[in-house]
């Protein structure tokens, strides 16, 4: 290996088992198999990028062929074989990239080459990287040699996608699943490298690198290399500099944004987001960090600072813990679901920046999910007497939790205790009525809405054709998109709701069109009727190129000539 290379990921690549980090169990198992002369025909290393698959493959090749033997493996002064393997130029160690040589002819050449014994080493070793890229025919051609190779031949496979490898190949290998490197181990490692390179970086900056690398040593070293090269001599890499270099932003800004969302301060929310956006943060990175912070708000009581994977410092941890006590879990879960859905919107909206601002504005309205039509507010004389506190208003000791004096924001959210009880009773009574009276397909759909069984309702509306509906018996046909667990889910829910057993039978009869199909057909009929109307013809006279795409009606009146 060239020690003068300036790329840290190559310069500090492990050369012996002792240099490995985070893979102690794997290293010990392999060394024991060599010591006791129980070397498998083939090794298979799998794991994410940058955890040491190819590196361990080379180390294993050196251990098998070291001139000093397994009990005295080379560490500093490498023998001739170990030196050649490190430099990838040993005549008996063949490294092949399966991504560029995927065909059966390549494997046949490999098998032909395996017929000849090693020249200078004890074992001839084939290291095949990204082995999952081999074709099906190539794998089949390899099976016989893999199961019963000559005594001098060993295979070492490395892959990031183990599921793409045929089980017949996996069963012929000794498989090792390499884990992600633990955050603390990776932090200590890159801190040591930073000192050896005479670089200057704060612990917070290194922790950010660990977080971004997601357990990959190569990613961590590449990020460290990039960060150190971006600074002038003797200049320290602090957290702010690291955030600018890697396109990340200060978590405290996001906590402030959450606080203003809970307070309903739209202007402050948008100002903070625009500052984050001006720092060059991509909307999807913002969304991912937003989801991460939502997780902390929901589970902060069961986490410790050490368990937050270097994402939070002490002050941020305390702030989240304090704010989370004032927010109910239902709101946080609703925020999570809504944020996940917004990720899909980013792929279809041309200006993602505007989409993100509307996303944050909508979150502020999600706090009030109760049906407004059911809220009967007290008269102004009784209003101040019966105020009930909400999770976003002041504490009972009359101290404003968020240190604000904006009382106007609470209007529209505050309900007295009596109203809350009435609303709850009313909703429960509606549900009980629905539970005992599922007399039609429409009743079933409405009950799904009340119970918030959105997936079940979607399947019923889009993929189910009703043939017959009777008490405790539903006969249906369906299309190929129907979820495989639909029958089981529907039967289970019907029993939970009615405490009665329902029979769901499948029919070969086509049945009525699905609800979605009915809606589409009605829309088409409405559009056709509009096209035949006087209004449409008069529009075409003025605008010949106009085209009617959609129609929205406010009532059920039909358009006639």
pLDDT tens, residue by residue, 363-393: 888 755 443 333 343 333 343 444 444 444 4
Contact at 8 Å (CB) between 539 and 509? no
238 and 294 within one domain: no
Contact at 8 Å (CB) between 298 and 333? yes
- Look up the CATH number of the domain holding residue 469: 3.30.300
Is 272 within the bounds of a domain? no
Question: CA–CA separation, 305 vs 370, rounded Å?
Answer: 35
146 and 71 within one domain: yes
Nearest Cα residue to 181 out of 53, 359, 94, 62: 53
Nearest Cα residue to 114 out of 96, 97, 99: 96
| Residue 180 DSSP symbol | P
Listed residues 486, 512, 538: the one ending a domain: 512
Sheet holding 42-46, edge to edge: 93-97, 124-129, 153-159, 42-46, 174-177
Helix (H, G, I), strand (E, B) or coil at 115: coil
pLDDT value at position 306? 57
348 and 292 within one domain: yes
pLDDT value at position 298? 87
Between 9-23, 158-172, 251-265, 392-406, the lowest mean confidence (pLDDT) is in 392-406
154 and 23 within one domain: yes
State the DSSP string of 374-433.
G--PPPHHHHTTS----TTS--TTS--TTS---GGGGTTT---HHHHHHHHHHHHHHHHH
- Which of 64-78, 142-156, 345-359, 375-389 is most confident? 142-156
Confidence check: pLDDT of 423 > 60? no
Contact at 8 Å (CB) between 204 and 187? no
509-538: average pLDDT = 79
What b/e readout covers 270-303, taking b as 16+ CB neighbours within 10 angstroms?
Answer: bebbeebbeeebebeebbebbebbbebbbebeeb
Which range marks the domain in which residue 527 is found? Answer: 517-561
- Look up the CATH number of the domain holding residue 233: 1.10.8.60
pLDDT value at position 165? 93
Q: What is the mean pLDDT of the chain?
A: 79
- Number of domains making up the chain: 5
| Residue 156 DSSP symbol | E
Is 190 within the bounds of a domain? yes
74 and 101 within one domain: yes
Question: CA–CA separation, 528 vs 522, rounded Å?
Answer: 10
Contact at 8 Å (CB) between 327 and 259? no
Is 399 within the bounds of a domain? no
384-410: average pLDDT = 43
pLDDT value at position 234? 75
User: How distant, in Å, are the alpha carbons of 41, 188, 375 from that of 44?
Assistant: 10, 28, 64
Question: CA–CA separation, 251 vs 260, rounded Å?
Answer: 14
187-216: average pLDDT = 88
Is 416 within the bounds of a domain? no
81 and 218 within one domain: no
What's the token pair of residue 400? 């404003």
542 and 488 within one domain: no
501-513: average pLDDT = 81
Confidence check: pLDDT of 334 > 90? no
Helix (H, G, I), strand (E, B) or coil at 6: coil
165-186: average pLDDT = 91
169 and 54 within one domain: yes
Helix (H, G, I), strand (E, B) or coil at 85: helix
Q: How many CA atoms lie within 13 A of 532 on its CB side?
A: 9
Is 274 within the bounds of a domain? no
Confidence check: pLDDT of 417 > 50? no
295 and 196 within one domain: no
Handedness of CA 415, 416, 417, 418 (dihedral sign): negative
Between 101-115, 120-134, 304-318, the lowest mean confidence (pLDDT) is in 304-318
Is 302 within the bounds of a domain? yes
Give the residue, 381 or 124, on which the prediction is more confident.
124
What b/e readout covers 357-389, taking b as 16+ CB neighbours within 10 angstroms?
Answer: bebbeebbeebeeeeeeebeebeeeeeeeebee
Q: Which ranges of 12-103 does DSSP label H, i.e. alpha helix? A: 24-35, 53-65, 80-86
pLDDT value at position 428? 53
Nearest Cα residue to 178 out of 18, 13, 27: 27
Is 397 within the bounds of a domain? no
Question: CA–CA separation, 549 vs 440, rounded Å?
Answer: 33
User: How distant, in Å, are the alpha carbons of 85, 395, 409 from that of 377?
Assistant: 80, 21, 16
163 and 286 within one domain: no
Backbone φ, ψ for residue 154 (5° rounding): -130, 145
Contact at 8 Å (CB) between 34 and 135? no
Contact at 8 Å (CB) between 236 and 202? yes
Beta bridge partners of 477: 465
pLDDT value at position 402? 42
Give the residue, 6 or 453, on which the prediction is more confident.
453
119 and 196 within one domain: no
Task: Provide the pairing of β-strand 124-129 with 93-97.
Answer: parallel
pLDDT value at position 556? 44
Helix (H, G, I), strand (E, B) or coil at 157: strand
Is 83 within the bounds of a domain? yes
216 and 171 within one domain: no
- Look up the CATH number of the domain holding residue 98: 3.40.50.300
Handedness of CA 294, 296, 300, 303 (dihedral sign): positive
């Amino acid at each position: 290996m060239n020690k003068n290379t300036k790329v840290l990921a190559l310069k500090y690549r492990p050369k012996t088992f002792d240099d490995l980090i985070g893979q102690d169990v794997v290293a010990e198992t392999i060394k024991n198999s060599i010591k006791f002369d129980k070397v498998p025909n083939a090794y298979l290393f799998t794991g994410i990028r940058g955890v040491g698959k190819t590196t361990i493959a080379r180390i294993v090749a050196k251990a098998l062929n070291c001139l000093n033997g397994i009990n005295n493996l080379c560490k500093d002064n490498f023998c001739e074989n170990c030196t050649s393997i490190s430099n990838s130029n040993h005549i008996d160690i063949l490294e092949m990239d399966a991504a560029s040589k995927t065909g059966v002819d390549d494997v046949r050449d490999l098998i032909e080459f395996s017929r000849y014994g090693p020249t200078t080493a004890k074992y001839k070793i084939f290291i095949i990287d990204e082995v999952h890229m081999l074709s099906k025919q190539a794998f089949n051609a390899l099976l016989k040699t893999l199961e019963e190779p000559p005594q001098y031949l060993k295979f070492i496979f490395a892959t990031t996608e183990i599921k793409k490898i045929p089980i017949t190949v996996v069963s012929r290998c000794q498989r090792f699943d390499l884990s992600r490197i633990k955050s603390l181990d990776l932090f200590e490692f890159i801190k040591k490298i930073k000192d050896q390179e005479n670089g200057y970086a704060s612990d917070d900056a290194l922790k950010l690198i660990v977080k971004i690398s997601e357990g990959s040593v190569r990613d961590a070293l590449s990020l460290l290399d990039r960060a150190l090269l971006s600074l002038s001599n003797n200049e320290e890499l602090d957290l702010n500099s690291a955030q600018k270099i890697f396109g990340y932003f200060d978590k405290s800004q996001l906590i402030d944004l959450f606080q203003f969302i809970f307070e309903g301060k739209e202007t402050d929310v948008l100002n903070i987001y625009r500052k984050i956006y001006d720092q060059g943060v991509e909307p999807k990175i913002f969304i991912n960090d937003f989801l991460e912070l939502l997780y902390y708000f929901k589970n902060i009581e069961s986490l410790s600072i050490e368990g937050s994977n270097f994402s939070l410092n002490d002050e941020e941890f305390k702030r989240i813990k304090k704010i989370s006590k004032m927010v109910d879990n239902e709101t946080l879960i609703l925020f999570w679901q809504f944020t996940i859905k917004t990720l899909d919107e980013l792929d279809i909206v041309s200006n993602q920046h505007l989409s993100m601002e509307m996303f944050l504005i909508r979150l502020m309205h999600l706090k009030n999910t109760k049906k407004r039509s059911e809220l009967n507010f007290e008269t102004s004389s009784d209003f101040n007497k019966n105020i009930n506190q909400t999770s976003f208003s002041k504490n009972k000791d009359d101290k404003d939790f968020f240190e604000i004096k904006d009382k106007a924001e609470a209007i529209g959210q505050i309900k007295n205790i009596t109203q809350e009880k009435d609303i709850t009773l009313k909703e429960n009574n509606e549900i009980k009525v629905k539970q005992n009276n599922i007399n039609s397909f429409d009743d079933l759909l409405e009950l799904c809405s009340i119970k918030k069984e959105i997936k079940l309702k979607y399947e019923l509306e889009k993929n189910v054709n009703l043939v017959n509906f009777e008490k405790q018996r539903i006969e249906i046909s369906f299309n190929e998109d129907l979820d495989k667990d639909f029958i089981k889910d529907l039967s289970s829910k019907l029993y939970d709701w009615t405490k009665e057993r329902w029979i769901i039978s499948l029919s070969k009869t086509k049945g009525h069109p699905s609800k979605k199909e009915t809606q589409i057909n009605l829309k088409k009929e409405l559009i056709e009727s509009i096209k035949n109307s006087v209004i449409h013809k008069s529009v075409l006279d003025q605008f010949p190129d106009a085209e009617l795409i959609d129609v929205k009606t406010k009532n059920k009146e039909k358009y006639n000539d």
